[in-house]
Structure formats: C-alpha cells, structure tokens
Chains A and B, each alone.
Chain A
C-alpha cells in the first residue's frame, strides 16, 4: 500500500540554524500538508499546499517557515532560524484531491533544537 515517507526520522539542530524537513507524498496525490505536535500536546495544522502554492496557513506558520515542492515527488518544510520552541514532531500528509475525505500522514520527523 502506498504511504507517505519522511526523512530524517530525527533531526537535531542548534538554535538559529536552518533546517529542512523532507516528505515524499503518495505519488498521485495533489494536496499536501504539514502539521506539528509539540511533545504531550495537540497535533497542530501548519500549512496546506496545492498547485505549487500555499492554500491555507495557520498563525504558527510565520515568516520563519516556508514550503516547497522542488520536483515532482518531494515536499519540504524549511525553518529558517530555529528556536527552542520549534522542537516538535513534524508530520507531513497528503490527499488525492480537493474533495478527498482522508489525509494520509507520514511517520513524522522529530526535530530537537538545542
């Protein structure tokens, strides 16, 4: 069964450094999402992406964050200058089309900012 993959599984970075998290959505999907989950807290929506542009973003997704689909398969989340509070699990998700009821989540990347 096709699945969303994410790399790396764990990323450790120093405060102020840039980090890029990688996702490979399911191949025929058109909508892509990033969520995050701080340890012990709720899963929070960050951004959705369709047709090479951002569809929606939350207030968490400020100027320090950006997303890109650099080729036909990858979907990346960049954090320009990481802060301690960016430490969280970051989940990528994809869905087939606008009317899809189901989002498929990847296994997540644990980001630790020291």
Chain B
C-alpha cells in the first residue's frame, strides 16, 4: 500500500496559492517524494519530485521538512484547470523500483 497520507479533499480560490500536504513518516533515506496529478479521467501527469531540498519548476514548488517526514506541494496561483486529484508518492531512486504506487490522493477543487 501507499506509504503516504493525504487529506481526501481541499478547496482553493482561483488565483490563490494551493498548499497540499503529505505525510510520509516512514520514508527511508534513499526514497524520493514525487507528486503527480490526474485531471478528470486523464492519465496521471508528473509534477515535481525531491529528495531533501526544496524544489521548484514551472508548475509547482515542493517543500520537504528537514526530517523528511512530510512535504507540501505549492501551486502558487491556482487556476480552474488545476482542479484534479493530486498524488504524493514515495519511491526509491528512479528505476530501482519502477512502478508507482498511487494512493487515493487529494482532490483539489479550485473555485472561481
């Protein structure tokens, strides 16, 4: 089963930052934190990943706590198109364990 815990749902106002939390208290030293999202009935889409440092790309920022037991995905200016289910996944370095184990994720609803 998935090794992460996420709230089942969250709301966010359009234009505001969406902060999605994830707990992964049993993460081991060589495991990365990945975030994917799934817009209604589409294939999952990679967002970002990190090991221990904070990461930022054109889609989002990832903040990982110093003890690595939790993280937050930040969408800085949420739009209606960001409405989706967001999955936090922990996995060993890419390839050592190829498959992704998806949990139930957080259903983010961005409202006008």
Which chain A residues have a beta carbon within 8 Å of chain B's beta carbons? 4, 31, 33, 35, 42-45, 48, 50, 55-56, 58, 89, 91, 93, 95, 97-108
In angstroms, Cα B95 to Cα A4, docked, is 19
Q: Mind listing 26 A-B residue pairs with CB under 8 Å?
A: A4-B43, A31-B95, A31-B98, A33-B98, A33-B99, A42-B104, A43-B38, A43-B102, A45-B101, A48-B99, A50-B98, A55-B98, A56-B97, A56-B98, A56-B99, A95-B94, A97-B95, A99-B94, A100-B95, A101-B32, A102-B49, A102-B94, A106-B43, A107-B43, A108-B41, A108-B42
Assuming A4-B43, A48-B98, what are 8 further A-B pairs, CB within 8 angstroms? A35-B100, A42-B103, A45-B100, A56-B97, A100-B94, A101-B34, A102-B49, A103-B100
Known contacts A43-B102, A108-B41: does B95 contact A99 (CB below 8 Å)? yes
Q: How many A-B contacts at CB < 8 Å in the complex?
A: 61
Contact of B41 among A44, A50, A89 (CB under 8 A): A89
In angstroms, Cα B91 to Cα A98, docked, is 13
In angstroms, Cα B49 to Cα A45, docked, is 19
Which chain B residues have a beta carbon within 8 Å of chain A's beta carbons? 32, 34, 38, 41-46, 49, 87, 93-95, 97-104
